[in-house]
């Protein structure tokens, strides 16, 4: 018999500023996570596929301004928004992704169309937008992604990042990951200078299939054209029914160098270890060795769910069909 269907999501990881804790803000994050888990849970309960559940969960996370993806995405150094997204089907190993899109309302839907109709896996920039337009996807003005809070955060990050660019990639990514508070100073319990924002989902469906999806605005003040881990299959997103489905968040450069998402699956396959052991090794041992900070959510074919992170907090949650969703922010 198949395991109970389950969805797990994340909305970014980082360092908690205890002084900035605010119960209203926390409640808003919990409410948003709960609502999105509930929607994906209903889909799975109705026999929906894991692929549909992760696509829908990430679409809703993109639409929510609390998270750095879609509406509410961070700014590049050029003052623009460039979005990355990916999706992978564990049943078929089909995948789709887009990077550096600037006008597609929901990048995850573009990634999904790439998976479904294209012979290719990844489109970038103008080519990705031309593909999305040909697919009839919804386009928005770049101002759609704008939030005042993220704009203010970018203004702050501009100065500091310039002085840190000559440092190593870890410092760059860490500093660049400065993220926006939606009401700066009071709304977000995570230190804006040490918080990563990306959204993602993994799911197991009633048919025993796995899927993963990831979407992000990237890191604040990133150089135009920079591509992070989120749209790279194997780095920020991976799914195989044989092992697990993984979606990551954190310092993208290190997740790329570590092939973080695939490494979890590879360790399960080649070392025969559990999902828990494999993901713990990647997040707590291997990534920190190259100063990789962040976390991931993952699920295996038995319905085991893990949500490890090496920062002080990560917006996260999971919901099994028939059970109340569980959400958390801190360790
Ligand atoms: N991993 C994302 C990137 O590097 C950022 C994040 O997770 O906050 O683009």
Domains of the chain: 11-68+148-330 (3.60.20.30)
Neighbour-count burial of 159, counting CB atoms closer than 10 A to its CB (0-12 exposed, 13-18 middle, 19+ buried): exposed
In DSSP terms, 123 is beta-bridged to 98
Half-sphere exposure for 81 (CA within 13 Å, toward CB):
26
Closest listed residue to residue 292, CA positions, set 246, 258, 328: 258
pLDDT at 194: 57
Contact yes or no for 180/154 (Cβ under 8 A): yes
CA of residue 85 to ligand 1 center, whole Å: 11
Which atom of ligand 1 is closest in space to residue 255's alpha carbon?
1
Per-residue DSSP letter, 188: -
List of residues 6+ apart from 189 with CB closer than 8 A: 16, 17, 20, 21, 22, 25, 26, 313, 329, 330
Question: Catalytic residue at 15?
Answer: no
Per-residue DSSP letter, 273: -
CA of residue 177 to ligand 1 center, whole Å: 7
Which tokens sit at 212?
A: 């993963």
pLDDT at 243: 98
pLDDT at 151: 80
Which residue in this structure is represented by tokens 């999902």? 275
This prediction has a pTM of 0.90
**Closest residue to atom 1 of ligand 1, CA basis:** 252
**Closest residue to atom 7 of ligand 1, CA basis:** 249
pLDDT at 284: 98
CA of residue 58 to ligand 1 center, whole Å: 15
Distance between first and last Cα of the chain: 33
- Crossing angle (nearest 10°) for helices 23-45 and 50-63: 150
Q: Which of 10, 68, 216 to mutate to test the pocket of ligand 1 (most atoms within 8 A of CB)?
A: 216
Distance CA 296, CA 280 (A): 10
Q: What lines the ligand 1 site, CB under 6 Å?
A: 12, 177, 196-198, 216, 218-219, 228-230, 249-250, 252, 294
pLDDT at 178: 37
pLDDT at 188: 58
pLDDT at 17: 55
Q: What is the pLDDT along the chain (331 residues), one digit of tens a residue?
A: 679 999 999 999 886 554 565 788 889 999 999 999 999 999 999 999 999 999 999 999 999 999 888 888 888 888 899 999 999 999 999 999 999 999 999 999 999 999 999 999 999 999 999 999 999 999 998 888 877 878 877 777 776 654 332 223 333 333 333 333 333 344 556 555 555 679 999 999 999 999 999 999 998 889 999 999 999 999 999 999 999 999 999 999 999 999 999 999 999 999 999 999 999 999 999 999 999 999 999 999 999 999 999 998 999 999 999 999 999 998 8
Check 76, 124, 198, 251 and give the catalytic one: 198
Q: What are phi and psi of 202, to 5 degrees?
A: -135, 150
Q: What are phi and psi of 127, to 5 degrees?
A: -65, -40
List of residues 6+ apart from 5 with CB closer than 8 A: 44, 45, 50, 53, 203, 204, 205, 206, 303, 320, 321
CA of residue 46 to ligand 1 center, whole Å: 32
Strand pairing report for 305-306 and 313-320: unpaired
List of residues 6+ apart from 319 with CB closer than 8 A: 6, 7, 8, 37, 38, 40, 41, 325, 326
Distance CA 319, CA 74 (A): 28
| Other CB atoms within 10 Å distance of the CB of residue 115 | 22
Which atom of ligand 1 is closest in space to residue 177's alpha carbon?
8
Distance CA 185, CA 149 (A): 10
CA of residue 251 to ligand 1 center, whole Å: 6
């Amino acid at each position: 018999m198949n395991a109970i269907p389950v969805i797990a999501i994340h909305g970014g990881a980082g360092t908690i500023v205890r002084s900035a804790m605010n119960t209203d803000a926390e409640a808003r994050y919990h409410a948003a996570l709960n609502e999105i888990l509930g929607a994906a849970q209903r889909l799975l309960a109705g026999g929906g596929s894991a692929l549909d559940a992760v696509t829908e969960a990430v679409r809703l996370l993109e639409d929510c301004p609390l998270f750095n993806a879609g509406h509410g995405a961070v700014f590049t150094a050029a003052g623009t928004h460039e979005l990355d997204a990916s999706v992978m089907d564990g049943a078929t190993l089909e995948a789709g992704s887009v990077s550096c899109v600037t006008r597609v309302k929901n990048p995850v839907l573009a990634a999904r169309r790439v998976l479904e109709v294209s012979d290719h896996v990844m489109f970038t920039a103008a080519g990705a937008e031309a593909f999305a337009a040909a697919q009839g996807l919804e386009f928005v003005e770049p101002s759609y992604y704008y939030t005042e809070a993220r704009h203010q955060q970018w203004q702050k990050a501009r100065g500091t990042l310039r002085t840190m660019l000559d440092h190593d990639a870890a410092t760059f990514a860490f500093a660049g990951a400065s993220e926006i508070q939606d009401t700066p100073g009071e709304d977000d319990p995570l230190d804006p200078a040490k918080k990563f924002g990306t959204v993602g989902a993994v799911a197991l469906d009633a048919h025993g299939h796995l899927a993963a999806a990831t979407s992000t605005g990237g890191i604040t003040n990133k150089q135009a054209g920079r591509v992070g881990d989120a749209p790279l299959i194997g780095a920020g997103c991976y799914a195989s029914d044989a092992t697990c489905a993984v979606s990551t968040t954190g310092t993208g450069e290190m997740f790329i160098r570590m092939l973080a998402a695939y490494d979890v699956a590879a360790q399960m396959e080649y070392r025969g270890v559990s999902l828990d052991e494999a993901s713990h090794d990647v997040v707590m041992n291997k990534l920190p060795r190259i100063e990789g900070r962040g976390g991931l959510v993952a699920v295996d074919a038995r319905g085991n769910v893990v949500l490890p992170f090496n920062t002080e907090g990560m917006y996260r949650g999971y919901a099994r069909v028939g059970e109340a969703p569980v959400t958390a922010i801190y360790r």
